[in-house]
Structure 1
Amino acid sequence: MTETLTLRTELEEDRFSRFRLIPWWDQAKIQSARVLVIGAGALGNEILKNLALLGFLNIVIVDLDSIETSNLSRSVLFRASDVGSAKADAAARGYGNLLPEATVLPLAANVMQDCGLGLFAWADLIIAGLDNREARLWINRAAWKVGRPWIDGAIEGINGVARVFLPNQPPCYECTLGETDWAILNRRMSCNLLLHEAQPQGRVPTTPTISSVIAGIQVQELVKVLHGLPTLAGKGYVFEGLQHTSYVTQYTENPDCMSHASLENIVELGESSSEITLAELMRRGQEHLGVSETVIEFSRDIIWRLRCPRCGAIDDLFAPVGSVDFNRGRCLACSPDSAEPQMRIVDLLTGYRGEPELAGRTLDQLGLPLFDVFTVRSNDSEVNYLIAGDAAEVLGPLVREKEFAV
């Protein structure tokens, strides 16, 4: 009898017992959920702290930056000894300290250039704490393509906003962008799609208090999405810290929005990107669709090469648009000492249309990330191939077979 009472007490008073007092709460659902966290700065730290305290066990953290001393005043997971380390790595260590049984994968990567759509398909939920529109726009389009919800947060000073975007339920993030937003986005690129000097990131003035407020709302919305409860879908929760006023704003769908494109009929391929050529992938797509005329569309545009119109020199790059600096476009072969060197022409690849010089190139030789999706399209049908053979290399301990298809 004593043993039974002891066991009952232990079950009732485990780490998450107070959560289970909430009638609709499902701790098993939380523990099995896979969460992609993009951004590990001030907001990202608070997001991750909350996820760890709630018991989320399967986490991928994506962040490109390294820790600076100024981050320590706004980032609960970072320590002075972490300065100079990748934010993703330090955040993963901090998460593990809070919840040792969790599996946390840090990726020191640019989400727009280095993360394949398979990573988004792996996740059940996506949550972001970023400071730029360009990355948000990419996340929005990727999440919509693979049918995943994502929760966005933004902070400045002591003000902030949290919002929820559900797949196939407009309005989406892109629907919220106005003329000023697009003007800022367009300033990042030159007319030939080379990147102007990047604006410094991580310089938005914020406090740890506003990070706590907005990240708390974001994670609460994530829990509600997971449990099928009403959320801020297509809406934004706006918090004004000076007077502590808040309100919910309703966004409007843009019928011409470019983000509303879903990938249907996703097929997992067991090979890795190094084992399949463009010609082979096209052949498979033609057999699958039962047609002889197809094209392959990439998940993002690629700078194939730079050509100098003056001297004819060609420089093969195979790099995602947005990763090549404007100065790289200057031809130094024919005018190495010129104050105004010749600008080279950018040859862009949006896909493969049977070009002989590309046929034998394997998928990992295109400048696209591993674990990505390729669309083989005919005039009236398409098939989307997820290169699932890359999953183990990308996801490591979080990989599971046959679970990525939408």
Structure 2
Amino acid sequence: MVEHKGYGGAPGADDDIPILGVESINQDLFDRQKRLKGWDQEKIRSSTVLVVGAGATGNELVKNLTLMGIGTIYLVDFDNVDRSNLNRCVFFKEKDVGKTQFKAEIVARNAMEYGRTRILPIVSKIEDVKEDIYKACNATASCLDNMEARLQINSFSYYYDLPFVDSGIDGWYGSIFCVVPQAKDCPCIQCSMSSQDLDNMFKKFSCTGQEIAKEEGFTEMKMANIITTTSIIGALQAQQIVKILLGIDQFKKDGTWNEKVGPPVYGKELRYDGTKNLFTFIEKTRNPNCWACNIKK
């Protein structure tokens, strides 16, 4: 695992936003979102989020979290940039294609132009992320293209008692699924896996234009993708993370969420169908025999 220096401003005392008068409200970077009922910019600024995956959805999620003023983002990815990434990834440029730098490093470097967020790139597989990183986080998010890695971050999040927001993209379709370990009977990703999901567990679809061959020589299909879907799902994922950050302390205390912001989507999956302009909820139930969310700590 390779950890790199962070990019952007550290959320320290020097970054404190002063109380502004009427004459200078337009100079406050976060003035408009501070006007939202239930919003707490200090809580956002002091939060740390682990984002796994720096591809199309990962770009959108990091962009959104950065513009909202999240204090720190750990960004995990070990892939390089291909040219076919460019039409869906706001932080990748033509000059980044074929370079020795990794996606996580490039996103971290370019995202610092958007705000004050400190972004720490980690060039690693999810199973190699150190324990102290999880312990430093308030929430986790996956922007991944294979089930195996998603199950890993799901398990790690449950083990470290971290709320987790998963996203999925497939052409015109997308989904969001929140896991809140602190919520009684909240299902995790493993709980709702079907036999087909298990069959597909080790598949990794290519969104780069380069087919991915398995060890036995079988080559997986390329996954269709479009920036409008990734933008929508990346926005929904960021929204769920913010709801969690602004409400989880209250939820741990009395079982209720920040009523001005609303609860995150957990216990159900939010699905988007771009062909029908339709959002639907799919109810999920916890599996009492699930080894992931019934883990003994």
Q: Same fold (TM over 0.5)?
A: yes
The aligned residue for residue 45 of structure 1 is 59
Q: Which residue of 240, 245, 248 maps to 2:281?
A: 248
CA distance in 1 between partners of 2:295 and 2:119 (Å): 28
Contact 2:146–2:201 at 8 Å: present in 1 too? no
Residue 92 of structure 2 is aligned to residue 78 of structure 1: yes
Q: Which residue of 216, 221, 241 maps to 2:240?
A: 221
- How has the CA–CA distance of structure 1 residues 9 and 197 changed in structure 2, closer, same or farther, with 3 Å as cutoff? farther
1:57, CA displacement in angstroms?
Answer: 2.2
- How has the CA–CA distance of structure 1 residues 203 and 258 changed in structure 2, closer, same or farther, with 3 Å as cutoff? same
1:227, CA displacement in angstroms?
Answer: 1.3
CA distance in 1 between partners of 2:192 and 2:106 (Å): 33
The aligned residue for residue 239 of structure 1 is 272
- How has the CA–CA distance of structure 1 residues 60 and 67 changed in structure 2, closer, same or farther, with 3 Å as cutoff? same
The aligned residue for residue 173 of structure 1 is 189
- How many residues in Structure 1 have an aligned counterpart in Structure 2? 252
1:8, CA displacement in angstroms?
Answer: 4.0
The aligned residue for residue 114 of structure 2 is 98
Superposition TM-score, scaled by structure 1 size: 0.58
SS at match of 1:47: helix
What is the 5 A alignment of 1:322-341? none
| AA in 2 matched with 1:230 | P
**Structure with larger Rg:** 1
1:183, CA displacement in angstroms?
Answer: 1.8
Deviations 1:288-324 (A, max 9, x none): xxxxxxxxxxxxxxxxxxxxxxxxxxxxxxxxxxxxx
Identify which range, 201-210 or 132-141, moves more after superposition.
201-210
CA distance in 2 between partners of 1:155 and 1:218 (Å): 12
Where structure 2 has 5 or more consecutive residues not aligned to the other structure, the ranges are: 1-19, 205-213, 248-261
Residue 126 of structure 2 is aligned to residue 107 of structure 1: no
Identify which range, 102-111 or 140-149, moves more after superposition.
102-111
Cα RMSD after superposing both structures: 2.3
CA distance in 1 between partners of 2:203 and 2:236 (Å): 32
The aligned residue for residue 212 of structure 1 is 231
Contact 2:172–2:225 at 8 Å: present in 1 too? yes
1:233, CA displacement in angstroms?
Answer: 1.1
CA distance in 2 between partners of 1:200 and 1:226 (Å): 40
1:196, CA displacement in angstroms?
Answer: 3.8
Contact 1:126–1:150 at 8 Å: present in 2 too? yes
1:184, CA displacement in angstroms?
Answer: 2.1
CA distance in 2 between partners of 1:202 and 1:63 (Å): 21
SS at match of 1:75: coil
What is the 5 A alignment of 1:374-389? none
Contact 2:203–2:220 at 8 Å: present in 1 too? no
CA distance in 2 between partners of 1:202 and 1:226 (Å): 37
- How has the CA–CA distance of structure 1 residues 73 and 132 changed in structure 2, closer, same or farther, with 3 Å as cutoff? same
Contact 1:34–1:123 at 8 Å: present in 2 too? yes
CA distance in 2 between partners of 1:150 and 1:235 (Å): 13
Where structure 1 has 5 or more consecutive residues not aligned to the other structure, the ranges are: 1-5, 189-194, 265-406
Residue 179 of structure 2 is aligned to residue 160 of structure 1: no
The aligned residue for residue 69 of structure 2 is 55
1:215, CA displacement in angstroms?
Answer: 0.8
Q: Which residue of 80, 95, 108 maps to 1:66?
A: 80
- How has the CA–CA distance of structure 1 residues 197 and 135 changed in structure 2, closer, same or farther, with 3 Å as cutoff? farther
What is the 5 A alignment of 1:185-200? 185=201, 196=215
Superposition TM-score, scaled by structure 2 size: 0.79
- How has the CA–CA distance of structure 1 residues 47 and 201 changed in structure 2, closer, same or farther, with 3 Å as cutoff? farther
- How has the CA–CA distance of structure 1 residues 199 and 258 changed in structure 2, closer, same or farther, with 3 Å as cutoff? farther
SS at match of 1:236: strand
1:176, CA displacement in angstroms?
Answer: 1.4
CA distance in 2 between partners of 1:23 and 1:253 (Å): 33
| AA in 2 matched with 1:138 | Q
Contact 1:144–1:168 at 8 Å: present in 2 too? no
The aligned residue for residue 29 of structure 1 is 43
- How has the CA–CA distance of structure 1 residues 201 and 90 changed in structure 2, closer, same or farther, with 3 Å as cutoff? farther
1:262, CA displacement in angstroms?
Answer: 4.9
- How has the CA–CA distance of structure 1 residues 123 and 8 changed in structure 2, closer, same or farther, with 3 Å as cutoff? same
Deviations 1:271-291 (A, max 9, x none): xxxxxxxxxxxxxxxxxxxxx
1:142, CA displacement in angstroms?
Answer: 0.5
SS at match of 1:260: coil
The aligned residue for residue 165 of structure 2 is 151
1:200, CA displacement in angstroms?
Answer: 7.3
Residue 155 of structure 2 is aligned to residue 136 of structure 1: no
CA distance in 2 between partners of 1:37 and 1:56 (Å): 12
Deviations 1:257-279 (A, max 9, x none): 01024565xxxxxxxxxxxxxxx
| AA in 2 matched with 1:103 | R
Contact 1:146–1:262 at 8 Å: present in 2 too? no
Deviations 1:78-115 (A, max 9, x none): 1111112310011101211111x322110111112x21
